[in-house]
């Protein structure tokens, strides 16, 4: 019986510290009919030398070196070069459990669905966690609505990121990552779920998400982190244009509260920019807000210092009630 080829796309820029572990986690999969597309995004360290030394030992590795253009451009390029029937992604500083591809591929084929996801475990320095019994792992189907609402749950990560999933090629080909911007997964998560009409989810942590200090999310505030608001605007427009009014309401509130969070982290120059942007978003979206949200967020609209006073007052009143 013909085995389906899975193309794993791995972008890397100056990833010499972690790239070998990431590559080996793909090559050591229990499901072996894979190709690994490594997109070297203009690395200036010894990343390319490490990849080429691994390629000599395994002809399933295909290496492409391009001028630095960012992770989105690398992923889009990788998809364009893929020979597989199915696509998976991996970041260069993470790694896969040995059963990840096998479990996800079985799920999409068994249920005849274009996408499946697994759970994630956060680790330090790529430690490995053993999983004893795969047969007992629940496989859940999340409808389009359930999956989209999960983006606003206490644990949105399994739906929000692209690197814990397997996709049919004809699904992911339709949806491009936004080039030149950070928070690229925020642009596509809802579109993929919508296009696929839901998602199958394996409640096993089959990908290791490396929590290290050099990662973008762990770095101090920078202007590039404001890209998140471009992603949020794109998602809000998608919900508004595709008849998801309840999600537009939830998302609008999230956008506004995230402005306040980033305002607290930013320097003086970026604080002014964030506050201006907040006022624009508030004008366009306050009709989605509850009365309580309007009161709180209006205080920030008028003056961020007033919002701090409002927060202290409501906290004090809450304590009195208790």
The per-residue pLDDT string of the chain (322 residues; one tens digit each, 9 = 90 and over) reads: 468 999 999 999 999 999 999 999 999 999 999 999 999 999 999 999 999 999 999 999 999 999 999 999 999 999 999 999 999 999 999 999 999 999 999 999 999 999 999 999 988 765 665 655 565 678 999 999 999 999 998 888 899 999 999 999 999 999 999 999 888 999 999 999 999 999 999 999 999 998 866 654 555 667 778 889 999 999 999 999 999 999 999 999 999 999 998 998 888 888 999 999 999 999 999 999 999 899 889 989 999 888 775 555 455 334 333 4
- Measured CA to CA, the distance from residue 115 to residue 293 in angstroms comes to 36
- Measured CA to CA, the distance from residue 210 to residue 92 in angstroms comes to 10
Close Cβ partners of 196 (under 8 Å, ≥ 6 residues apart)? 113, 114, 115, 144, 171
Contact predicate 166/87, CB 8 Å: yes
User: CA dihedral in degrees (241, 247, 249, 250; nearest 10)?
Assistant: -140
Question: Which residues lie across from 93 on neighbouring strands?
Answer: none
Q: What is the DSSP annotation of 21-46?
A: HHHHHHHT-SS--EEEEEEEES--SS
SS3 117: strand
Q: If one looks up domain 6-217 in CATH, what number appears?
A: 3.90.550.10
Full-prediction pTM beyond 0.85? Answer: yes
197: left (phi over 0), alpha (psi -120 to 50) or beta: left
| CA-to-CA separations, 48 to 44, 212, 268, 287, 318, in angstroms, rounded | 9, 22, 40, 52, 57
Q: What is the DSSP annotation of 120-139?
A: EEEESTT-------GGG--E
- Measured CA to CA, the distance from residue 240 to residue 266 in angstroms comes to 29
Q: What is the DSSP annotation of 161-226?
A: -STTEEEEHHHHTTSPPPTT-S-HHHHHHHHHHHHHTSEEEEEEEEEEEE--TTSGGGSPP-GGGG
Q: What is the DSSP annotation of 40-78?
A: EES--SSHHHHHHHHHHH-TTEEEEEE----HHHHHHHH
- When computed from its CA atoms, the radius of gyration of the chain, rounded to whole angstroms, is 21
Cα separation of the two ends of the chain: 66
- How is residue 265 written in tokens? 């982290």
Domain residue ranges in the chain? 6-217, 220-321
Look at residue 317 in the predicted model and tell me its pLDDT: 39
CA angle 124–202–11, rounded 5-degree value: 50
- How is residue 117 written in tokens? 């996801």
- Measured CA to CA, the distance from residue 159 to residue 92 in angstroms comes to 20
- Measured CA to CA, the distance from residue 18 to residue 31 in angstroms comes to 22
- HSE at residue 298, side-chain half, CA atoms within 13 A, is 9
- How is residue 264 written in tokens? 């607290």
CA angle 4–77–66, rounded 5-degree value: 130
């Amino acid at each position: 019986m013909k085995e389906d080829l899975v193309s794993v796309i791995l972008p890397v820029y100056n990833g010499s510290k972690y790239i070998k572990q990431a590559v080996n986690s793909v090559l050591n999969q229990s499901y072996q009919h894979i190709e690994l597309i490594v997109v070297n995004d203009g690395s200036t360290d010894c990343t390319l030398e490490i990849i080429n030394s691994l390629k000599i030992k395994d002809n399933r590795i295909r290496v492409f070196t391009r001028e630095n253009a960012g992770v989105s451009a690398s992923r889009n390029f990788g998809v364009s070069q893929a020979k597989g029937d199915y696509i998976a992604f991996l970041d260069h500083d993470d790694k896969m459990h040995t059963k990840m591809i096998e479990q996800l591929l079985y799920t999409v084929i068994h249920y005849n669905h274009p996408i499946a996801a697994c759970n994630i475990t956060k680790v330090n320095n790529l430690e490995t966690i053993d999983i004893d019994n795969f047969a007992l792992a629940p496989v859940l189907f999340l409808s389009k609505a359930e999956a989209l609402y999960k983006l606003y749950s206490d644990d949105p990560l399994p739906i929000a990121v692209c690197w814990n999933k397997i996709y049919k090629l004809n699904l992911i080909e339709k949806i491009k990552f936004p080039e030149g911007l950070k928070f690229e997964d925020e642009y596509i998560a809802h579109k993929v779920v919508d296009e696929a009409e839901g998602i199958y989810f394996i409640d096993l942590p089959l990908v290791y998400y490396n929590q290290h200090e050099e990662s973008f999310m762990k770095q101090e505030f920078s202007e590039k982190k404001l890209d998140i608001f471009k992603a949020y605007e794109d998602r809000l427009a998608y919900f508004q244009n595709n008849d998801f009014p309840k999600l537009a309401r939830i998302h609008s509130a999230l956008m506004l509260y995230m402005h306040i969070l980033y305002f607290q982290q930013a320097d003086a120059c970026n604080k002014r920019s964030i506050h201006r942007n907040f006022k624009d978003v508030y004008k366009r979206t306050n009709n989605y807000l509850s009365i309580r949200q309007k009161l709180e967020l209006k205080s920030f609209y008028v003056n961020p210092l007033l919002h701090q006073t409002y927060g202290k007052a409501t906290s004090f009143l809450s304590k009195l009630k208790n």
